[in-house]
């Protein structure tokens, strides 16, 4: 399958089955914005839950916060975003399409119409907003371009309200906003997206290199957990000349998407750049007091960062399988699948089958996200569930009425087993462990 073609098929499936819809579609759309539909929100929540458990709850040195999207503009001045979060932009004088010249193969003429470009202008990636009733008198601030800001701003609050000692980390999942010039490739680069970020605080004299390496390894553990194979990844070590001046090491963790190898996640050693700037700009002492050595210092930071939407795109691209001409399957791990099972009555016009199946559905629904389907024939229902990644299909048939057993059909092997209704919960539960 041509890979771009694969992306088109994924985009179509996402819309048709309710994973991802184009943003503001009834108004003709709004470029580079998307909405998650009924199945997309389940998948995304399952990814975020897996991330939170693995990175925050499973570790003894991690905790979390949920900071604001609107923060003081002083924070973004201190972080350097107001001055530096800018990209070069050129506009075609003929068709008025805009591009980043550094991303064009030939930056001298428009790739869409061959027109001439304007001079290069710098373009802020920050979305401005105004706080206050009267715009002219209001306070201008920005929608956060990354979630990290609130972590730095609250690092002292977290230390003061918990028992954590350095080294420790704070994680956060939430929306970020960037006024991107170049967009495209579906949900890969959008104006509004979700990040899952960690700021891991270490002593200035810690062996940062080995802590960095441990994080890289731990990140690959997450990739395995969510079903992304190691061979699809590439660690792009950012060379000195391209790295932010304050970073001693940055790796872009790239992934082989259907449209090419691109950044999925990243990890950076940011020294004490952030805390020292926030300390200077806020006038608040952000030093850590080490009660064992009696020393005070500004912690250094290692920052693993993840795009949730890109992770979802990588997972769907990996799971998508239309190699069988009969059916398309999303081979999602049961933990991530929007529905853990589907329940069907064999025939929808037999009230006794429907009532029995309804009972099985209601009981299982207390424990898992389960879907009901009685449309069409059984084969069609199976294929319909395969396409959205439902691991099991449970059918209530005439034998069920006699002995309280059902068939359970496996998405991947397409094999069916007959099991007791009383065993269903444990059967599904086992697939999630
Ligand atoms: N705090 C560091 C930081 O924000 P970044 O590399 O600019 O680093 C982190 O962003 C992650 O956020 C990226 O690896 C990517 O997964 C995701 N991301 C960034 N811009 C995005 C966009 N416009 N659309 C979707 N995801 C984006």
Quick one: which atom of ligand 1 is closest to the CA of 311? 16
Give the pLDDT confidence score for residue 106 in this predicted structure: 87
190 lines ligand 1 (CB under 6 A): yes
Q: Do residues 246 and 366 share a domain?
A: no
Q: Do residues 181 and 306 share a domain?
A: yes
pTM: predicted TM-score of the whole model, two decimal places: 0.96
Q: Do residues 229 and 252 share a domain?
A: yes
Token duo for residue 344:
């069907």
Query: By alpha-carbon position, which residue is closest to atom 6 of ligand 1?
Result: 266
Is-contact 276 249, C-beta < 8 A?
Answer: no
Is-contact 6 320, C-beta < 8 A?
Answer: yes
Is 327 part of a structural domain of the chain? no
310 lines ligand 1 (CB under 6 A): yes
Count of domains forming the chain: 3
Q: Is 417 helix (H, G, I), strand (E, B) or coil?
A: strand
Give the pLDDT confidence score for residue 182 in this predicted structure: 72
Q: Do residues 22 and 92 share a domain?
A: no
Residue holding tokens 């999602």? 332
Quick one: which atom of ligand 1 is closest to the CA of 268? 2
Give the pLDDT confidence score for residue 119 in this predicted structure: 92
Token duo for residue 258:
């259907």
Q: Extract the residue ranges of the chain whose pLDDT is less than 70.
A: 1-2, 4, 135
Q: State in Å: Cα 307 to ligand 1 middle.
A: 6
Residue-wise pLDDT for 144-187, tens only, equals: 999 999 999 999 999 999 999 999 999 999 999 999 887 779 99
The CATH number that applies at residue 411 is: 3.40.50.800
178 lines ligand 1 (CB under 6 A): yes
Q: Do residues 188 and 274 share a domain?
A: yes
| Domain around 206 | 2-84+125-318
Is-contact 215 200, C-beta < 8 A?
Answer: yes
Using CA atoms, how far apart are residues 18 and 35, in angstroms rounded to an integer? 10
Give the pLDDT confidence score for residue 2 in this predicted structure: 60
Q: Do residues 230 and 206 share a domain?
A: yes
Q: Do residues 416 and 346 share a domain?
A: yes
Give the pLDDT confidence score for residue 294 in this predicted structure: 95
Q: State in Å: Cα 306 to ligand 1 middle.
A: 7
- 319-344 as b/e: b if 16+ CB within 10 A: bbeeeeeebbbbebbbbbbbbbbbbb
Query: By alpha-carbon position, which residue is closest to atom 16 of ligand 1?
Result: 307
Query: By alpha-carbon position, which residue is closest to atom 24 of ligand 1?
Result: 189
- 387-402 as b/e: b if 16+ CB within 10 A: bbbbbbbbbbbeebee
H helices of 229-322, in order, are 273-282, 308-319
């Amino acid at each position: 399958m041509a890979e771009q073609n694969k992306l088109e098929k994924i985009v179509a499936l996402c819309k048709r089955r309710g994973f991802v819809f184009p943003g503001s579609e009834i108004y003709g759309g709004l470029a580079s914005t998307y909405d998650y539909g009924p199945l997309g929100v389940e998948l995304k929540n399952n990814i975020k839950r897996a991330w939170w458990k693995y990175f925050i709850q499973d570790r003894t040195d991690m905790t979390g916060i949920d900071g604001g999207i609107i923060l003081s503009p002083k924070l973004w001045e201190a972080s350097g975003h107001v001055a530096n979060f800018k990209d070069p932009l050129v506009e075609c004088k003929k068709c008025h399409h805009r591009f980043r010249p550094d991303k064009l193969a030939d930056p001298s003429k428009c790739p869409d119409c061959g027109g001439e470009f304007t001079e290069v202008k710098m373009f802020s990636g920050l979305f401005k907003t105004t706080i206050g009733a009267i715009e002219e008198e209001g306070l201008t601030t920005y929608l956060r371009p990354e979630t990290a800001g609130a972590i730095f701003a609250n690092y002292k609050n977290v230390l003061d309200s918990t028992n954590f000692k350095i080294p420790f980390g704070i994680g956060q999942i939430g929306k970020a906003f960037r006024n991107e010039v170049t967009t495209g490739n579906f949900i890969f680069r959008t104006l509004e997206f979700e990040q899952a970020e960690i700021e891991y605080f270490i002593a200035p004299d810690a062996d940062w290199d080995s802590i960095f390496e441990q994080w890289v390894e731990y990140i690959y553990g997450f990739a395995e957990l969510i079903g992304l194979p190691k061979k699809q990844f590439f660690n792009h070590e950012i060379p000195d000349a391209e790295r932010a001046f304050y970073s001693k090491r940055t790796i872009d963790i790239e992934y082989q998407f259907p449209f090419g190898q691109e950044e999925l996640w990243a990890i950076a050693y940011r020294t004490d750049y952030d805390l020292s700037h926030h300390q200077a700009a806020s006038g608040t002492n952000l030093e850590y007091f080490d009660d064992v050595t009696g020393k005070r210092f500004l912690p250094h930071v290692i920052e693993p960062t993840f795009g949730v939407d890109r992770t979802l795109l990588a997972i769907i691209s990996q799971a998508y399988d239309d190699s069988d001409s009969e059916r398309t399957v999303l081979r999602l791990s049961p933990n991530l699948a929007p529905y853990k099972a589907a329940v069907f009555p064999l025939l929808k016009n037999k009230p006794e089958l429907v009532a029995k199946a309804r009972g099985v559905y209601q009981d299982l629904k207390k424990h898992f996200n389960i879907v009901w389907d009685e449309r069409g024939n059984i084969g069609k229902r199976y294929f319909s569930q395969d396409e959205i990644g439902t691991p099991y299909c449970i059918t209530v048939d005439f034998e069920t009425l006699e002995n309280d057993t059902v068939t359970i059909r496996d998405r991947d092997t397409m094999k069916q087993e007959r099991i007791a209704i009383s065993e269903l919960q444990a059967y599904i539960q086992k697939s999630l462990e």
